[in-house]
């Protein structure tokens, strides 16, 4: 263990006596539980050097237990010193090993603002099974030793007009109040996407996602209180307080006898203060946010068009530059093309630019150590997206600039068939994501193949690229509803050799057939035909593919001009 790390860990454990604890929990997530954690709240990463997105350190004075999932176990072994015991968090034995290392009656400290009601319940269960106790510590023990922490300077807030949001914030707040339980006085909103959606604002606190960090409290009488350090100018009808004031404000509400409702991902701190005065409710606003209004849909389509232009330019560039470019340079070139759009803001996630065997690593992100030249002797997988004013995109294409093997073509075609089946599907009202999920896998399943991720996720409106509650996955219990946006992204991964994924975003809409729904494809980027084994496609599938590519060539071609358009068509068709 490096001296610096040892120093941090010993500073952390040196505080244990003062708080009368024998251990402490340091997770990768923060109190806001967003997919991306801002750098100043990446406590686990600062403490250990781990750069993955999912990890929990539970330490005592003798041992450092590092829990992560199978995506990150190899990475954790490289990034962390051998002083850490790296364990799989999905394995019950790992947890048993951690908690049995404490003696009966010993206390493990945790930050009650960071743990949600549900994560706390899990720790509570585990501790009880091993006769260990949990102790809330209101000061975060990592923050107390992180003296050089830099809290980023907040850049401006974007306020969306009704013309840009399609619905006033007042109407959304009124709906939130209408949805409240009869005996609730306040609604506490901790989901950052929901706060931005309700107030028609977008922020700059989190990479790849235009959110602000904060809490929103809505009173039944219509008054709104926003706790955030990111707001400089006043907001109409909203009283603004500093983020740190949420605790005192909440305590005062409880003292006044108020009943407050919140979602189950609220921090356990609130529940411990409020006890019965905090009611955990299911949040129906997420479902309202997921069904986009006509303004949002029009803007989302515009964002997809702009994104398609950038991707088409990129495909032409790549066809001329493979063999002399690498994964990192290619993703920078794609960003350069996206930036040519007036409405582009930033990438919606870290680009997965993966050549050959790197493509089989599903959450791959190229680094200096792994960077590969993109040559013509294997497949190149590119999964990327943008945040636009207004709309969020996410698209994956798989390329081959040489001669693909028969096996690669077969796998590519099976993936494509699943993707096209959903694109063309007509399904009855009430159909949920789990039912759709298996339809995208059908062709792979018939060959004894599968992919270890879900088929699709919801996508926000210039918000999170991964947005619930709807999904196309084995656990997708939410029924599809008109105006939802979802991804359609089956894949196939051959470890150590190559990866294939084809992804479009789709809009749910009513079918002409009464009582049925269907999808409209939003993504505007051609699908490579040179990887298709035409023998495996039927006439309907061939037509869909040709029509889709032709629509893209015609629409995007107007911007590219006829020379570039023809080049693009040749690249995609050969
Ligand atoms: Mn996606």
Question: CA-CA distance, 98 to 91, in Å (whole number)?
Answer: 12
- Residue 426 confidence (pLDDT): 98
Question: CA-CA distance, 410 to 235, in Å (whole number)?
Answer: 56
User: How far is ligand 1, taken at its centre, from the CA of residue 409, in Å?
Assistant: 22
| pLDDT single digits (tens) 235-266 | 999 999 999 999 999 999 999 999 999 998 99
**Which of 134-143, 269-278, 565-574 is least confident?**
565-574
User: How far is ligand 1, taken at its centre, from the CA of residue 471, in Å?
Assistant: 11
User: How far is ligand 1, taken at its centre, from the CA of residue 394, in Å?
Assistant: 5
Determine the 3-state secondary structure of 59 from DSSP. strand
Q: What is the mean pLDDT of residues 345-372?
A: 94
State which H helix or E strand residue 106 sits in: none
Closest CA to 461 of 300, 225, 248: 300
The reply to whether omega before 390 is within 30° of 0 (cis) is yes
State yes or no: pLDDT of 73 exceeds 60. yes
State which H helix or E strand residue 435 sits in: helix 433-446
- Residue 2 confidence (pLDDT): 58
- Residue 574 confidence (pLDDT): 62
User: How far is ligand 1, taken at its centre, from the CA of residue 372, in Å?
Assistant: 23
State yes or no: pLDDT of 332 exceeds 70. yes
Question: Is 343 in contact with 388 (CB distance < 8 Å)?
Answer: yes
Q: What is the mean pLDDT of residues 197-204?
A: 96
User: How far is ligand 1, taken at its centre, from the CA of residue 457, in Å?
Assistant: 7
| Mean model confidence pLDDT for the chain | 95
Residues around ligand 1, an ion, CB closer than 5 A: 394, 487
The confidence band for 152, taking pLDDT boundaries of 50, 70 and 90, is confident
Q: According to DSSP H, which parts of 154-245 are helical?
A: 162-165, 169-179, 192-199
User: How far is ligand 1, taken at its centre, from the CA of residue 458, in Å?
Assistant: 9
User: How far is ligand 1, taken at its centre, from the CA of residue 503, in Å?
Assistant: 7
Whole-prediction pTM value?
0.94
User: How far is ligand 1, taken at its centre, from the CA of residue 487, in Å?
Assistant: 6
State yes or no: pLDDT of 528 exceeds 70. yes
CA distance readout (Å), 348 to 56, 179, 208, 291, 343:
25, 31, 5, 20, 13
Question: Is 383 in contact with 503 (CB distance < 8 Å)?
Answer: yes
Question: CA-CA distance, 260 to 277, in Å (whole number)?
Answer: 6
Question: Is 257 in contact with 237 (CB distance < 8 Å)?
Answer: no
- Residue 305 confidence (pLDDT): 98
| pLDDT single digits (tens) 465-487 | 999 899 999 999 999 999 999 99
Q: What is the mean pLDDT of residues 166-192?
A: 97
Q: Percentage of the chain surpassing pLDDT 90? A: 89
The confidence band for 3, taking pLDDT boundaries of 50, 70 and 90, is low
User: How far is ligand 1, taken at its centre, from the CA of residue 437, in Å?
Assistant: 14
User: How far is ligand 1, taken at its centre, from the CA of residue 506, in Å?
Assistant: 11
User: How far is ligand 1, taken at its centre, from the CA of residue 501, in Å?
Assistant: 10
User: How far is ligand 1, taken at its centre, from the CA of residue 277, in Å?
Assistant: 39
State yes or no: pLDDT of 1 exceeds 60. no
State yes or no: pLDDT of 180 exceeds 70. yes
The confidence band for 53, taking pLDDT boundaries of 50, 70 and 90, is confident
In the chain the first and final C-alpha atoms are separated, in Å, by: 54
Q: Percentage of the chain surpassing pLDDT 70? A: 98
User: How far is ligand 1, taken at its centre, from the CA of residue 456, in Å?
Assistant: 7
- Residue 532 confidence (pLDDT): 97
Residues 6+ apart with CB under 8 A from 522: 300, 301, 304, 485, 504, 505, 506, 507
User: How far is ligand 1, taken at its centre, from the CA of residue 499, in Å?
Assistant: 15
User: How far is ligand 1, taken at its centre, from the CA of residue 250, in Å?
Assistant: 37
- Residue 221 confidence (pLDDT): 96
Closest CA to 260 of 176, 183, 175: 183
User: How far is ligand 1, taken at its centre, from the CA of residue 313, in Å?
Assistant: 21
């Amino acid at each position: 263990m490096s001296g610096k790390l040892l120093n941090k860990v010993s500073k952390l454990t040196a505080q244990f006596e003062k708080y009368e604890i024998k251990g402490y929990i340091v997770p990768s997530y923060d109190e806001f539980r967003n997919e991306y954690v801002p750098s100043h709240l990446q406590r686990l990463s600062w403490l250990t050097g781990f750069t993955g997105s999912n990890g929990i350190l539970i330490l005592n004075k003798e041992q450092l237990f590092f829990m992560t999932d199978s995506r990150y176990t190899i990475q954790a072994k490289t990034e962390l010193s051998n002083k850490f015991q790296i364990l799989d968090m999905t394995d019950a034995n790992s947890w048993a090993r951690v908690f049995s290392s404490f003696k009966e009656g010993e206390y493990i400290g945790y930050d009650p603002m960071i743990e949600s009601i549900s994560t706390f319940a899990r720790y509570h269960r585990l501790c009880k099974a091993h006769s260990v106790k949990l102790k809330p510590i209101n000061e975060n023990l990592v923050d107390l030793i992180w003296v050089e922490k830099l809290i980023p300077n907040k850049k401006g807030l974007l306020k969306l007009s009704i013309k840009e949001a399609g619905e006033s914030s007042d109407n959304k707040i009124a709906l939130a109040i209408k949805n409240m339980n009869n005996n609730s006085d306040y609604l506490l909103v901790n989901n950052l996407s929901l706060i931005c959606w309700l107030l028609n604002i977008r922020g700059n606190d989190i990479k790849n996602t235009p959110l602000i960090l904060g809490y929103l409290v809505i009173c039944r009488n219509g008054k709104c209180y926003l706790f955030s350090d990111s707001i400089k100018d006043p907001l109409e009808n909203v009283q603004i307080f500093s983020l740190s004031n949420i605790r005192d404000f909440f305590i005062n509400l409880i003292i006044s006898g108020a009943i407050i409702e919140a979602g189950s991902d609220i921090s356990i701190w609130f529940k411990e203060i409020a006890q019965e005065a905090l009611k955990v409710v299911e949040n129906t606003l997420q479902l309202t946010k997921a069904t986009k209004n006509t303004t949002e849909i029009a803007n989302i389509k515009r964002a997809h068009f702009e994104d398609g232009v950038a991707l088409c330019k990129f495909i032409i560039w790549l066809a001329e530059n493979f063999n002399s470019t690498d994964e990192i340079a290619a993703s920078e070139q794609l960003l350069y093309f996206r930036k040519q759009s007036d409405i582009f803001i930033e990438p919606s996630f870290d680009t997965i630019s993966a050549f050959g065997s790197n493509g089989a690593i599903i959450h791959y992100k190229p680094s200096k150590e792994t960077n590969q030249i993109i040559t013509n002797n294997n497949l190149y997988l590119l999964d990327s997206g943008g945040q636009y004013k207004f709309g969020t995109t996410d698209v994956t294409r798989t390329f081959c600039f040489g001669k693909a093997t028969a096996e690669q073509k077969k796998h590519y075609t099976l993936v494509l068939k699943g993707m096209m089946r959903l694109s063309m599907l007509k399904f009855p009202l009430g159909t949920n994501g789990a039912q759709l999920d298996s339809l995208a896998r059908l062709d792979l399943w018939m060959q004894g193949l599968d992919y270890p991720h879900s088929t699709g996720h919801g996508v926000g409106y210039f918000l999170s690229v991964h947005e619930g509650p709807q999904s196309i996955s084995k656990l997708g219990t939410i029924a599809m509803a008109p105006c939802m946006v979802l991804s359609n992204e089956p894949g196939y991964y051959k470890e150590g050799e190559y990866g294939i994924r084809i992804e479009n975003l789709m809009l749910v809409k009513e079918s002409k057939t009464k009582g049925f729904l269907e999808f409209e494809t939003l993504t505007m980027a051609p699908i490579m035909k040179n990887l298709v084994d035409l023998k495996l496609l039927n006439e309907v599938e061939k037509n869909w593919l040709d029509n889709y590519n032709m629509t893209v060539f015609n629409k995007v071609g107007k911007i590219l001009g006829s020379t570039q358009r023809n080049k693009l068509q040749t690249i995609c068709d050969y």
